[in-house]
Amino acid sequence: NAGVTQTPKFRVLKTGQSMTLLCAQDMNHEYMYWYRQDPGMGLRLIHYSVGEGTTAKGEVPDGYNVSRLKKQNFLLGLESAAPSQTSVYFCASSYIPGLSYEQYFGPGTRLTVT
Positions that interact with other proteins (CB under 8 A): 4, 31, 33, 35, 40-45, 48, 50, 56, 58-59, 90, 92, 96-98, 101-108
List residues bridging with 109 in a β-sheet.
89
Minimum CB distance to other proteins, residue 80 (Å) = 25
List residues bridging with 78 in a β-sheet.
19
Minimum CB distance to other proteins, residue 97 (Å) = 5
Q: Residue 12 or residue 56: which is nearer to other proteins going by CB?
A: 56
Q: Residue 22 or residue 45: which is nearer to other proteins going by CB?
A: 45
Q: Residue 14 or residue 98: which is nearer to other proteins going by CB?
A: 98
- Residue 80 to residue 104: CA distance in whole angstroms: 29
- Residue 107 to residue 50: CA distance in whole angstroms: 21
- Residue 18 to residue 98: CA distance in whole angstroms: 37
